[in-house]
Amino acid sequence: DIRRLKMFLEGKKTKLLNELRDQMLEASKELKFEKAGRIRDQIKALESLNLRGNLEDHIQPEAFYVDPKRGLKGLKKILGLPDLPRVIEGVDIAHLQGGETVASLVQFIDGLPFKHGYKRYKIRTVEGIDDFASMREVVSRRFRSLRNNDERYPDLLLVDGGKGQLSAVMSALAAIEVDPPCVISLAKQQEEVFVPGESESRKLSRHSFALRLLQSVRDEAHRFAQAYHHILRRKSTFE
User: Residue 39 and residue 36: Cα distance in Å, rounded?
Assistant: 5
Instruction: Give the CA count within 13 Å in the CB-facing half-sphere of 2.
Output: 4
Whether 229 shows a pLDDT value over 70: the answer reads: no
In sequence order, the β-bridge partners of residue 202 are 193
Whether 189 shows a pLDDT value over 90: the answer reads: no
pLDDT above 90 coverage of the chain, percent: 46
pLDDT-based confidence at 38, cuts 50/70/90? confident
What pLDDT, on a 0 to 100 scale, did the predictor assign at position 67? 82
pLDDT-based confidence at 9, cuts 50/70/90? low
For residues 93 and 131, the answer to whether their CB atoms sit within 8 Å is yes
What pLDDT, on a 0 to 100 scale, did the predictor assign at position 62? 41
* 59-237 is a CATH 2.60.40.10 domain: no
Q: Where are the domains of the chain?
A: 1-48, 59-237
Q: Is 104 helix (H, G, I), strand (E, B) or coil?
A: strand
How far is CA 9 from each of CA 22, 46, 119, rounded to the nearest angstrom?
21, 12, 21
**pTM value surpassing 0.85:** no
User: Residue 235 and residue 239: Cα distance in Å, rounded?
Assistant: 6
pLDDT above 70 coverage of the chain, percent: 80
For 67-109, how does the pLDDT look when each residue is reduced to its tens digit (9 = 90+)? Answer: 888 999 999 999 999 999 999 999 999 887 656 788 999 999 9
In sequence order, the β-bridge partners of residue 106 are 90
In the chain the first and final C-alpha atoms are separated, in Å, by: 41
% helix, strand, coil for the chain, step of 5: 50, 15, 30
User: Residue 78 and residue 72: Cα distance in Å, rounded?
Assistant: 10
What is the amino acid identity at position 234? R
